Amino acid sequence: MPAELRLSRSDSGQPAPERSVAGLRLARWCASNGWPVHPLGAGRKTPAANCRNCGAAGHTHKGCGCIAAGRWCHGFHAATLDYSRIDHWWGHNPALGVGVACGPADLVIIDIDTHHAEAPSRDRILPGIEIADHIDLTGLTTGYHSLAVLAALRGEDSPAQDASTLRVRTPSGGTHVWYRATDGRRWQCSTGSGKRALAWQVDVRAHGGYIIAPGTTTSAGAYTPIGSARKPAPLPSWLAHELQRTGHLPAAHVPAPRPVPPRARQAVLAAGGGQDKISRLLRALLADVAACAHSSEGAGFTEKLNRAAYSLGGLVAAGYLRDEAAEQALRDTAEAARPGQTQRFGKIIRSGMTAGAQRPLHLGGRR
């Protein structure tokens, strides 16, 4: 394990970085993993400025001469893997912290906050998902809780408990869960968008942002690795699906909405209420499958069809859809995306719906 990430005990008995750890060693270790680095202000978690124009109105990284001259400036825009540049930056300024540019490193970081606060209304805890009234949310006060609710609805374990990947405890008690993108898609940050978030008090760091390297110490405390994993695991497919659903891809990468097949529209129970909500959900679930028609391979067809079948199985079990019509809607969409593969996708659909039926998907708003 790199010395930068080993832990010792401070005089108070609490975990603390080894006193001999230098920013230079940490920056070089990050670069060795293919993660471009840039300096953070000494004892701070924000990028270090390097010219008098930084912060001035109209001054951007595109018009700044610092980066072209090999000097850091404008945070992650100056991030580098160049060891000579890294040695120069941190060798002459050992107090600087280390930031990692997420986009060029193909990193997707789930940023869980723990600001104890009163939870918002049910429709704002998980963007795009209304939590049914019968679900007890007593004690939900942090991002750990809202992320656990999302994971439970999807039948998955919370990323906060994912020991297979690098996790970093923040000085405030939150957690950064590190994953790496493996499909070439440019996942976008939540922060700064004002419109997208994975869950209440759960943000995403990806293209357009940076993350504080594990082992960095600020005036608030240390960013300390959890468990034994020191490398990011591949981004789980279910999380990728949720990130796409919550708008963490550029518009050009999101398949255009496609009409719900007629049989799916007819499947909505007229007496069930919330038909617009169900119709929107159906379009979202089937759009991923339908979009596979644009690519003959590498589109994740099996995974997307299985996920849609699982969700529709949950809707059937909750009484929103009729089983036969839901299955036919999946078959129609799959046939359009992969003509002539009926036997193959038929098994996927039945298996997914059967599994989903074990977890009824209640959306709230039933009358």
Beta-strand relationship, 175-180 and 233-234: parallel
pLDDT band at 44 (very low <50, low <70, confident <90, very high): very high
Question: What is the pLDDT averaged over residues 207-225?
Answer: 94
Same domain, 131 and 96: no
Please check whether residue 244 lies inside any domain of the structure: no
More confident residue, 256 or 361: 361
207-211, 225-229, 246-250: least confidently modelled range: 246-250
Mark whether 223 and 136 lie in a shared domain.
yes
Supply the CATH number for residue 153's domain: 3.30.2250
Q: Is the entire prediction scored with pTM above 0.85?
A: no
Number of separate domains in the chain: 3
pLDDT of residue 265 exceeding 50: no
pLDDT digits (tens, 9 = 90+) for 60-105: 776 677 777 777 887 888 888 989 999 999 998 899 999 999 999 9
Of 101, 121, 149, the last residue of a domain is 101
Structural domain includes residue 212 = yes
Residues 108 and 220 in one domain: yes
Sign of CA dihedral 310, 312, 313, 319: positive
Domain span including residue 212? 102-235
What does the DSSP 8-state code read for residue 48? Answer: P
| Cα gap 314→44, rounded to integer Å | 46
Q: 221: which residues sit within 8 A by CB, 6+ positions away?
A: 171
DSSP string, 108-171: EEEEE---------HHHHBTTBPPPTTS--TT--SHHHHHHHHHHHTT---GGG-TTS-EEE-T
> Among 93-97, 181-185, 236-240, which is the least confidently predicted range?
181-185
Same domain, yes or no, for 35 and 65?
Answer: yes
What pLDDT, on a 0 to 100 scale, did the predictor assign at position 276?
A: 62
